[in-house]
Amino acid sequence: MKHKLLSALIAFTLASPVFAADSGRTVENFNFGWKFHAGDTCGAPDRSFNDSRWTPVSLPHDFQISQPWVAPAADEKADMTNSAANTRSRLSARAFKEMGAGWYRKTFRADPSWKGRRVLLDFEGIMLTGDVYFNGSRVGGTDYGYLGFEADITPLIDFDGDNIVAVRADTGKPENSRWYTGGGLYRNVNLIVTDPRLHFTRHPLRITTPDVSDSSASVVIDAELTNAIKDYKEIRVLAEITDTDGQTVSSRTLTLPFNRRQRTNEYRVDSLRIASPRLWDCDSPHLYTLSLTLFAPDGKVADRIYETFGIRSIEYSPDFGFRLNGKKLLLKGIANHHTLGALGAAAYPAAIEKRIRILKDFGFNHIRCSHNPYSKQFMDLCDRYGILVVDELYDKWTRQNAGGRKEWMEQWPVDLPEWVRRDRNHPSVIMWSLGNELQMLWNLPFADWGVTPYRLQKTLLKRYDTTRPLTVAMHPRYCDVNTDSLPAPLALATDIASYNYRY
C-alpha cells in the first residue's frame, strides 16, 4: 500500500500539460499508460503484438532497481585475468544488478485535431541505450542515455485505429559504467504538436545577460525557427518578459527578415534593457520568464514557447576566484551521481527537490554533475533554489563510457549540442565540464592526452554558448608524462584547471 501511495504522489507531480493548444503548440504529458516487459522478446514493435501480460507502469521508471541482485565474487581480489572475475568486479560498480534489456509499449488513439499538424515524441532520456518504434517502424533512439531526443511520427499516425509506441532499453555491458545507472524510460516522455510549416526548433532559445548591474541589465534573445511558407519573408514575433510576480517588464512585437535559402536558421530576436533588475543569486534566486510567440501570415499564433532565465553575472580570475554579480563566492558543494539512492535512477521531481533542500539547509550552494548530464527537472530546481551547477557531459572520452554502441568520436558531435542547447539558459549553470579524469587515459584520440579532443569540443560548444568557461576534471597524481613535474598538457589547455581529490 505504501508503494502504491508513493507512486501516486510521484505521478501527480508529473501529470499536467506544459503548454495548451491555443499557444499554437501542444505539449502533452506521455508518462502514463505504459506496459513493461523485462528481457528481450520477439515482435514487440509490431502493432499486432499481444502485451496483455506485461506489467503496467508509469514513467519515470527504472527497471534495473527491481532486477535480481548478482552476488559479489567470493574473493574480490581474485585474479582479474579470469573473465568471470572481471565481470563480477564490473558488476560491483553497477550495484550488483543484473545487466539486460527491457521493452516498453504504449497504445493510444490519435486526436483528430492533429491532422495536418506536426507530431513529435520527446524522450528526455532512455538508459543506457534506446530504440523507439512507432506502429512497427523505427523512428529514433539514443546511444547516450543521459541526453534526450525527439522522433517525428507525423507520417505514421493512424487516425482510424490504435497507435503503438514500443521502446527497447538496454543497460549495456557491466563495463559501460563505473556506477549504478538504472535502466529504461527513467525520465519524462512528452508528445508535442506544432504547425508543420512554421515552428520553433528543439531547444531554440539562447538568452544571455552580457551587461548586469543593480540599476540596469541587458537581455539578448536569439531563437532558432523553421519557416517553410514560401511568401512569408518578414516573420512577426512577440517577445514578453514577466517577473516572478507575473508583472510584465518588457513586451515588444518585432519583425524578423527571413532568408528562404535556409528554412531553419537562428535569429537575433531582440536586445533590450531592464531597469532595476532583480538579480539571481544563491540567496535570492529570482527568475524571469520569456514568452516568444510566432505569428502566421494570417495573424494567428503559429507557435509559442516559454523559458525561464535569471539575470546574473559570473566572473573567474586567479586574483579573486569566482564572483557572482560582482561578489566573491566560494563554491561549497558535492559531486554526486544522478541516481536517488533506494529509489533508483528514475527522475522523481519530489525526491530531487528534497535532496536539494537538505543540501541548502546544510549550507551547500553547489553541485557538480558527476559525470553526466542530469535531468531537466534537476536543472529547474537548482534555478529555483539558487544552487550553482558545474554541468558535466562525460565520464571518459571513450566508446565504453559513452554508451558502447558507437565510437566516442562519432557520438560527441551529437551529444554536445543537445546538452548545451538544453542547459544554456539555466542561471544555475556556471561552468561546462567536458569530462572526468581525462588526462590519465593513454588511449584517447589523437595521442596527445586529450588536448585535441578538448579543443574540438570547445569549438563546437562555443557555437552555442560563449558565456561560461570550460573545464575537465583531472586526477591529481597524473602529471606531464615527459617531465613528471609540470601539469598535464590538458590542464594547460582548459579554461579552468579542475582536480578531483587532493594532492
| pLDDT digits 0-9 by tens, 336-384 | 899 999 999 999 999 999 999 999 999 999 999 999 999 999 999 999 9
Q: What is the CATH number for 85?
A: 2.60.120.260
Distances (CA, A) of 195 to 227, 295, 434: 10, 11, 36
How many CB atoms are located within 10 Å of the residue 149 CB? 20
In a domain, 325, yes or no: no
Task: Tell me the average pLDDT across 445-456.
Answer: 91
Are 289 and 382 in a shared domain?
no
In a domain, 29, yes or no: yes
The 3-state DSSP class for residue 6 equals helix
Contact 346, 186 (CB under 8 A): yes
Q: What is the CATH number for 258?
A: 2.60.40.10
Are 470 and 377 in a shared domain?
yes
- The model carries a pTM of 0.92
In a domain, 57, yes or no: yes
In a domain, 314, yes or no: no
Pairing status of strand 429-436 against strand 388-392: parallel
Contact 149, 142 (CB under 8 A): yes
Are 262 and 168 in a shared domain?
no
pLDDT of 400 reads: 83
In a domain, 214, yes or no: yes
Domain endpoint, select from 177, 194, 211: 194
Are 356 and 488 in a shared domain?
yes
Amino acid at position 116, single letter? G
The number of folded domains in the chain is 3
The 3-state DSSP class for residue 9 equals helix
Q: Is the pLDDT of residue 7 over 50?
A: no
Q: How many helices (H) and strands (E) does the chain have?
A: 7, 26
Average pLDDT of the chain to the nearest whole number = 90
Are 58 and 111 in a shared domain?
yes
Contact 171, 64 (CB under 8 A): yes
pLDDT of 80 reads: 41
In a domain, 340, yes or no: yes
Are 150 and 35 in a shared domain?
yes
Are 126 and 238 in a shared domain?
no
Angle at which helix 451-464 crosses helix 408-423, to 10 degrees, equals 30
Are 11 and 133 in a shared domain?
yes
Are 190 and 202 in a shared domain?
no
- Interatomic CA distance for residues 164 and 484, integer angstroms: 59
What is the percentage of the chain residues whose pLDDT exceeds 70?
Answer: 90
How many CB atoms are located within 10 Å of the residue 156 CB? 15
Domain endpoint, select from 194, 219, 237: 194
Q: Which domain holds residue 342?
A: 330-499
| pLDDT digits 0-9 by tens, 21-70 | 567 999 999 999 999 999 999 999 999 999 999 999 999 999 999 888 88
In a domain, 316, yes or no: no
| pLDDT digits 0-9 by tens, 112-136 | 999 999 999 999 999 999 999 999 9
Are 56 and 181 in a shared domain?
yes
Q: What is the CATH number for 422?
A: 3.20.20.80
Are 170 and 88 in a shared domain?
yes
In a domain, 21, yes or no: yes
Task: Tell me the average pLDDT across 166-171.
Answer: 97
pLDDT of 148 reads: 98
Are 77 and 159 in a shared domain?
yes
- Interatomic CA distance for residues 454 and 15, integer angstroms: 40
pLDDT of 81 reads: 44
